[in-house]
């Protein structure tokens, strides 16, 4: 590793998201000059040996470092995932990012968390090196934040959230580990669970907005372009975040260009992995329906 400080990046995913995790990592590598400084912290669960091999191959193409964290072996994660409200769409892997300060090594002072439904197309070093100006984290305002927190007619949870407060999307968060640790995120989660707040809010993202209220740096929208559509291509986004129903790994999304940079995404994932992931998703789709039958 070079004498320049490492760029620490954390991803959390389960076995059904191994290919998008690979695409996110590869996009980071492709669009930075500081490839040799990249350290990927891969927090995973239910990862099959074959998919582990696919992910590890990133180090054959680029001079990056990989650190693996098997969440299935983490008593802390298993306990949290078992007790906290279940995220049926994303699974309780979402809670893993709350404990990054406890999972990562003590030498990590700053880490960039990225969701695995992202495509990076600008130099990640420019984001990682941003001056946090004394804040614990940096993030991008969520364009749907008021609705996420307030729900229909923006009436829900008014005793918890104020729609006038800026609300960030937690898919990309630049973290000062020491300040994150001082905030006692897991302790705040446990308190919210005891008081019934966790049962009412939008999982970890709402919790992080409560914990870091007025203690986060608002970044330009380019660094987390939410619900990335085809029209965003002309605006030169730095990170595409595919939060909508259509994903860039969908065959028809790629053919019809319904999401931003769909064709680029396919080749970042690589054609071989893209079509293998498509077959994997079809198998899962049929298995779910056969079980229902």
At residue 254, the pLDDT reads 60
The closest of 156, 278, 150, 134 to 215, measured between CA atoms, is 134
> Residue 178: inside a domain, yes or no?
yes
- Which residue spans within the chain are E strands per DSSP? 7-14, 38-45, 65-70, 110-114, 118-120, 137-141, 168-176, 216-219, 225-226, 239-241
CB 14 within 8 A of CB 49: no
| Residue 1 placed within a domain | no
Measured CA to CA, the distance from residue 21 to residue 3 in angstroms comes to 27
pTM over 0.75: yes
pLDDT mean values, one per 10 residues, the chain (293 residues): 81 96 98 98 97 98 98 95 83 93 95 98 98 98 93 92 95 98 97 96 95 97 95 95 92 72 96 94 76 59
Q: How many domains does the structure of the chain reveal?
A: 1
| CATH code of the domain in which 172 resides | 3.90.550.10
What range defines the domain where residue 66 resides?
A: 7-292
DSSP string covering 184-250, please?
Answer: THHHHHHHHHHTTSTTTS-HHHHHHHHHTTT-EEEEPGGGSEES-BGGGGGG--SEEE--SSS-TTS
In a domain, 150, yes or no: yes
């Amino acid at each position: 590793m070079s004498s320049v400080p490492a760029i620490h990046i954390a991803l959390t995913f389960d076995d059904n998201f191994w290919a998008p995790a690979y695409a996110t990592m590869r996009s980071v590598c492709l669009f930075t000059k500081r490839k040799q400084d990249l350290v990927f912290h891969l927090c995973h669960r239910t990862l099959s040996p074959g998919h582990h091999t696919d992910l590890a191959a990133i180090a054959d193409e680029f001079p990056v470092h990989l650190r693996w964290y098997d969440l299935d072996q983490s008593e802390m994660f298993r306990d949290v995932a078992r007790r906290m409200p279940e995220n049926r769409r994303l699974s309780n892997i979402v809670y893993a990012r709350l404990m990054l300060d406890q999972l990562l090594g003590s030498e990590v002072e700053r880490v960039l968390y990225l969701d695995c439904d992202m495509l990076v197309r600008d130099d990640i070093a420019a984001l990682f090196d941003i001056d946090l100006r004394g804040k614990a984290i940096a993030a991008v305002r969520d364009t749907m934040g008021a609705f996420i927190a307030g729900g229909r007619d923006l009436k829900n949870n008014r005793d918890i959230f104020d729609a006038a407060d800026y609300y960030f999307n937690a898919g990309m968060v630049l973290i000062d580990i020491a300040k994150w640790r001082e905030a006692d995120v897991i302790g705040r989660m446990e308190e919210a669970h005891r008081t019934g707040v966790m049962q009412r809010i939008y999982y970890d993202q709402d919790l992080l907005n409560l914990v870091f209220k007025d203690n986060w740096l608002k970044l330009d929208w380019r660094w987390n372009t939410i619900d990335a559509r085809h029209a965003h291509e002309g605006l030169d986004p730095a990170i595409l975040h595919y939060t909508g129903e259509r994903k860039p790994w969908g065959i028809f999304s790629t053919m019809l260009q319904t999401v931003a940079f769909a064709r680029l995404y396919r080749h970042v994932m690589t054609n071989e992995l893209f079509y293998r992931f498509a077959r994997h998703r079809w198998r899962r789709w049929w298995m779910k329906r056969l079980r229902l039958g």
